[in-house]
Amino acid sequence: MVSLRKRSVVAVLGFAMLTVLAACDSATAGQPLPKKTSSQASEEPTDESTSETTEPDYSLARLCELMSPDEAQELGGSAEGEKGNSISDGHAICQWADKTSLVVGFQEGMTTANAKTGPGITNTPTTVDGLTAVQQLSTDPIAICQVMVDLPSGRLFSVAASVRSAGEGKYDPCQVASQLANLTVPRVKDQ
């Protein structure tokens, strides 16, 4: 009876040992991962660096980066753009204001067919970088010239220019708006 109990205990212990050994065996079957050195860790691509490399240089999501400081100043604007919202419907814009006031922005689901008409407004159909566009000059109360462009994505991209006190007599708003459109549209036409 006693020897039978001992045998049972030995059998249980033996089974347990085998299980543990089997577990150790499976653990040692794989190779331990080498410890990362600091240089290897820095080479490891991260989510952030991946997204940086895949992001386009210019994006409608970063309107203020559509022009360099030199380009903005060339057109009479300030070196740095200021993010804001349109007073019409609140769509996102960026504005560079110094001798001229330059604005770029876009609207979802709009086209040049929606261009406003009325007294003091002159709409002229045109193209910018091969895309359908309308140049709109409104003169009441000040001359503001804007170029609206139909993007293939269904968005309406618009740029506007007006002349501030320091730029009076030095800039033509429609010439500036045209230059601004030709500069920025190629950078966002696929978006």
Partner 1 sequence: MYEAIGGAVAAFSNAAMAGQVSIQADAAAEALDKIGKVKDQLTDLLTTKSGTAHVQLGANPVGQAIAKKSMGRFDGEDSFVAALTLLQEQTQKAETALKQSIANYVDTDDLHAAQYNRTHQ
CB of 55 to partner 1, least distance (A): 25
The Cα-based distances of 160 to 45, 51, 171 in angstroms read: 41, 31, 13
Binding residues among 1-40 for partner 1 as defined by CB under 8 A: none
Nearest to 136 by CA among 155, 165, 158: 158
Tokens of 125: 């159909």
Binding residues among 88-117 for partner 1 as defined by CB under 8 A: 88-89, 91, 93, 95, 97, 101-107, 109-110, 114-116
Binding residues among 136-175 for partner 1 as defined by CB under 8 A: 140-142, 144, 146, 148, 156, 158-165
CA 137 to chain centre: 29
The 42-81 contact track toward partner 1, x by CB under 8 A, reads ----------------------------------------
Specify burial of residue 144 (Cβ count, 10 A radius: 0-12, 13-18, 19+): buried
Name which of 36 and 83 has its Cβ closer to partner 1: 83
Name which of 58 and 180 has its Cβ closer to partner 1: 180
Half-sphere exposure of 190 (CA within 13 A, CB side): 4
Tokens of 87: 């007073």
The 123-142 contact track toward partner 1, x by CB under 8 A, reads -----------------xxx
For 158, the 3-state DSSP assignment is strand
Q: Is 183 in the site for partner 1 (CB under 8 A)?
A: no
Binder among 85, 122, 139, 175 for partner 1 (CB under 8 A)? 85
